[in-house]
Structure 1
Amino acid sequence: MTMDTTRPAPGTDEPDIAEMVAGTPASGKHRGILAVAGVATLGSLLFGYDTGVISGALPYMYMPHGAGGLALNPVEEGLIGGVLLIGAAFGAVLGGTMSDRWGRRHNITILAVLFLFGAIGTTFAPSVAVMSPFRFILGFAVGGASATVPVYLAETAPKRIRGSIVAIDQLMIVTGQLLAFTMNAVINAAHGGPQITVTANHNADQHGIGLGQRSWDSVLALQASKGGPMDDAQFHAFVNNLVVSAGNGAAWRWMLVLCTIPAIALWIGIRLMPESARWYLVKGRIREAIGSLKRVRNPEKDGSLEDEVTEMLETRHHEREEAGARGTFKHVWQTPWLRKLLFMGIFLAIVNQTTGVNTIMYYAPKVLEYAGMTTSASITAQVANGVMSVIGSALGLWLILRFRRRQILIFDVFGVAAALLAIAGVFHFMIAPHIADGTRPPAWTAYLVLAMMALFMLIVQSTNGTVVWTMLGEMFPSNVRGVMNGTAIFFMWVVNAIITFTFPSMMASLGGGLTYTIYGVLNVVIGIVLLKIMPETSGKSLEQIEGYMEKRYS
């Protein structure tokens, strides 16, 4: 059993912190906080790549087996997207508990292995049935990273730059998504867009689909949603009566395999980084906490190490006096102020998803096809959304240093509502009339939708993503931070899964106009609620935040 060195030495009121700080060497080579953040957020890069890559892979997976695709139907499309999110929900909860028990760095090391294993499995899966468990594993790693990396960064970074350091996590998520979108576009261009080779057409009405090599878009154009003559059932029957002997549908495998590279880099790099000093303190390992802090602190910039350790110990002693149980969900639920704080964290996590951001991350190519783009053009256009996401997240690093968390998030939800309602207006007034007439919308309408999407991504990534991930990493007490953060992010992934499952059906049955109107109005309501209930954490140390939250929710 590890001795609890946070307790006072015999005959004294408190441990001699000055002596312990002076007598404890750094636990390893000094690592700049940017180096620590750069390595740890490779997990966030993988989070972004694995969630973003599917938007470009799905169009190829939809192609017939003979062309190298998986001949997906809408149910299987939802399964491929949804099973990752279900895995992420469990990964968030269990990942938080695992990081509380075994350490933040240790947990990230395990997640790197899961990222690698899941990527290899999905790449070589011959069917949806085989792919699904590997997608679940990838999701578990994604959820675990979403619960662990922000906490590791928040606990490792000095107070003066903690907001910006944790915001790097969000920047790396969207960088991973941009990387996925870019590689999707490159691989798509290298293959010349989706192509099939038709050797027989057994349909009574061949609708111009003759023998030989054909663009897959020429087949998709027969769907009623694209101005063609066939409803979904008729279209799938038509495709089943085609004999396809070749094609480039296997392009999706190249898209998926690329994330093995950062997974290997994460496994190597995180082993060179220090463990969280605050996690060591929770475990009563004060000398190891000091040694870890010395690896990532610059006394000239970050202030006295002795003062920081003293503040951490005082908070830790308060936690021990307050609770007999440590780090358990039962303790959180039985402590009224912690339970209220957990509900606040869950609400913020849900707000991160109700913006509708992932309707664009996962389905933008499909939405742009509804608006009149070809498959290849829509895959390439998704890069623009990725670029705006990265610009927005970089802008968020600046915003979070100059404005208060509460101000930024409230501005976000109202700005997002305006962008969503603008997209709804384009669909309702400019696109829907053409679909109703069985004609393709003008090409410029798709680019107008893309412009509104890009503006939406700039707003949401510079504000919502930065603030929510930063606050989830800092608003919970250290002894239950992992389990509370994991629980909040569990609900984030559940809502993400609900949106992912329902959005295609909403687009098909309600149309883009009404679908995006619903999301726009929802964000107006959420903005009004945030005005009344959102707390503020700007400019406070983690220990000060804990005291503020206990006072606010007691």
Structure 2
Amino acid sequence: MSSPSTTPTALSPEEISALAQNTPPSGKKRSVKFVALAATLGSLLFGYDTGVISGALPYMQMPQDGGGLALTPVEEGLVGFFLLIGCAFGALYGGRLSDKYGRRHNILLLAGIFLVGAIACAIAPNLIILYPSRFVLGCAVGGASATVPVYLAETVPKRIRGVLVGIDQLMIVTGQLLAFIVNAVIANITGGPDVVLAEVEAGTTAKINGVETALQAGQMYSWDVLNSIDPSLFTIDSGNGNTWRWMLIVCSIPAIALWISMRMMPESSRWHAANYQFAEAIGCLKRVRTEDDNIEEEFTEMVVARQSQEEEEKLSLKQILKVKWLRKLLIIGALVGIFNQTTGVNTMMYYAPKVLQQAGFGTQAAITLTVLTGVASVIGSALGLYLLNRFSRRTVLIGGTVGLTTMLAVLALVFHFGITPYLEADNMAAMPTFIPYLVVVAIIFFMLFMQSGNAPATWVIMSELFPSRVRGVAMGLAVSCIWISNAIITFAFPPIMDVVGPTGTYVIFVVINIIAITWMVKVVPETKFASLEELEEQFEEQYS
């Protein structure tokens, strides 16, 4: 049932009380858990679409005759780069759209873009089609990253806001784990990457399982083996390179579920209040609150906050930058997001098989072992929910960053002393068998610290940092900074690994994270112990 809009005039306490008591719910009651589950399907898609590429790339790198796309290192970087540039674009403009048309409306739109982007990527015949398809899919991922945390923060009660917004991060890593599992299952079903040879020059051999073996036409061989051989010595008849298409198409299923479930959800009550639609705000609020919740008090906070801004228009990004305290919040939010990416987390997500191959594992084994990092991420995110409820946002953020920085240092040491000497001597067979597993263990603990500390605290802090009238625009810019830095790191990681090696690469990340920790200790504010409206008053006073 819809109530008429209330015009933006001053409301007395009696009018506020009357609205709170007399306005009926705008539709069927929805539990907060159901709201969180529905909205965070967008985060599940976010996780799947960013995680799936790690298992798809080895098949994309195969020759076209074998079903792949014959990616060069630069083209490999561009596959991730275009998605992430799309993410930056989607986060920036998705935030603006959610401010203008509503959080729920935006998530419904994103569900459609997820579906179109997933199908377009899966059926792309070449890179000319794949790159723009990845950009479109990235727009949906970026839009979800900017909109879903805001929708949750504005919809759930203050007492569980941190926990349920943290569930958003849990669903992201669950999506990544789902991608890793799907990748591993499909890779183990199809095998590979494998190709069947059509012709082979006489006398051509390859080392298979440590034995020099003559290659034969009509036989299937691992592309890991053939990739190191002069391609002029053989031709390919067929292969299982199309495996990557099956990995990418799976995310169309949760996209459909997201659209269906969000059709049953209310709009954000705080979005209605920010747009002077007070009757609609109370109607939506009543759909997601129980009789034990003090609806009138919460509604009063919204109305008072909105009325205090009646003489002010919603600010554009240019206008936000002219207001000292808003500019300060924007800088803090952007840097929290950027330092979330300079942890190196997405080098683990996108290039985990590549890192594990550097450590001595084969492609199929590396794809399978990546599942362990996904499991660690989910466990870490579940732990993060407890930590966010138990400790302050700052404590969780800084503690997690210290832990993951330690693991980066461990990775640098393992590569420097345990793996690089054997790589340089071209004698990996002599390397002790336990050393590659030290890399796996270090990555697992890195993901535990990341997902239980830095990651959930980053998203919760950003969702609570900005005033409602600029939240969409400011959150969009902050998340765009995340995706732009992510894109730069993703594109730069392979050449940096080639130039300075794994040891040097992880030392760089250690140094950057030490800088980040120092800044967090000195600058990042606490957001846990106040309502969103109280935080706005506090920040305006503190930073003006």
User: Is 1:216 matched up with 2:223?
Assistant: yes
Alpha-carbon offset, residue 4 of structure 1 = 5.2
User: Is 1:475 matched up with 2:465?
Assistant: yes
Alpha-carbon offset, residue 215 of structure 1 = 1.3
SS in 2 for 1:339: helix
Q: Distance in 2 between matches of 1:460 and 1:149?
A: 20
Stretches of structure 2 that go unaligned for 5 or more consecutive residues are: 207-213
8 Å CA contact retained: 1:6, 1:15: no
Deviations 1:68-95 (A, max 9, x none): 1111111110111100000000000000
Determine which of 237, 254, 257 is the counterpart of 2:249. 257
Name the counterpart of 1:115: 114
Name the counterpart of 2:210: none
Alpha-carbon offset, residue 18 of structure 1 = 1.2
Determine which of 391, 394, 408 is the counterpart of 1:420. 408
8 Å CA contact retained: 1:8, 1:14: no
Determine which of 265, 272, 279 is the counterpart of 2:264. 272
8 Å CA contact retained: 2:5, 2:280: no
Matches within 5 A, 1:28-67: 28-67=27-66
Q: CA RMSD in A?
A: 1.5
Alpha-carbon offset, residue 203 of structure 1 = 9.3
Matches within 5 A, 1:144-183: 144-183=143-182
8 Å CA contact retained: 1:416, 1:520: no
Matches within 5 A, 1:515-554: 515-554=505-544
Alpha-carbon offset, residue 313 of structure 1 = 1.1
8 Å CA contact retained: 2:314, 2:470: yes
SS in 2 for 1:490: helix
Letter in 2 for 1:470: V
User: Is 1:7 matched up with 2:9?
Assistant: yes
8 Å CA contact retained: 1:373, 1:443: no
Alpha-carbon offset, residue 125 of structure 1 = 0.6
Deviations 1:133-191 (A, max 9, x none): 11001000000000000000000010000000100100000000000000000000001
Alpha-carbon offset, residue 6 of structure 1 = 4.2
Q: Distance in 2 between matches of 1:62 and 1:241?
A: 19
8 Å CA contact retained: 1:51, 1:177: yes
Deviations 1:85-122 (A, max 9, x none): 00000000000000000000000000000000000001
User: Is 1:436 matched up with 2:424?
Assistant: yes
Q: Distance in 2 between matches of 1:541 and 1:533?
A: 20
8 Å CA contact retained: 1:396, 1:466: yes
Matches within 5 A, 1:360-375: 360-375=348-363
Name the counterpart of 1:313: 303
Q: Distance in 1 between matches of 2:225 and 2:14?
A: 76
Alpha-carbon offset, residue 439 of structure 1 = 1.5
Letter in 2 for 1:16: E
Letter in 2 for 1:504: P
8 Å CA contact retained: 2:61, 2:71: yes
Letter in 1 for 2:329: L
Name the counterpart of 1:466: 456
Name the counterpart of 1:102: 101
Name the counterpart of 1:225: none
Determine which of 497, 500, 503 is the counterpart of 1:507. 497
Alpha-carbon offset, residue 14 of structure 1 = 5.4
Q: Distance in 1 between matches of 2:148 and 2:433?
A: 42
Larger deviation: 135-144 or 333-342? Answer: 333-342
Matches within 5 A, 1:179-190: 179-190=178-189
Name the counterpart of 1:198: 197
Alpha-carbon offset, residue 464 of structure 1 = 0.8
Length, aligned pairs only: 531
Q: Distance in 2 between matches of 1:203 and 1:509?
A: 36
Alpha-carbon offset, residue 369 of structure 1 = 0.3
8 Å CA contact retained: 2:102, 2:267: yes
Alpha-carbon offset, residue 209 of structure 1 = 4.1
Q: Distance in 2 between matches of 1:269 and 1:511?
A: 46
Q: Distance in 2 between matches of 1:417 and 1:75?
A: 28
Name the counterpart of 2:370: 382
The TM-score with structure 2 as length reference comes to 0.95
SS in 2 for 1:38: helix
Determine which of 473, 488, 492 is the counterpart of 1:498. 488
Of all paired residues, the percent bearing the same amino acid is 51
User: Is 1:457 matched up with 2:459?
Assistant: no
Stretches of structure 1 that go unaligned for 5 or more consecutive residues are: 223-234
Deviations 1:317-350 (A, max 9, x none): 22234x3x31421331121110111000001111
Q: Distance in 1 between matches of 2:298 and 2:9?
A: 17
SS in 1 for 2:309: helix
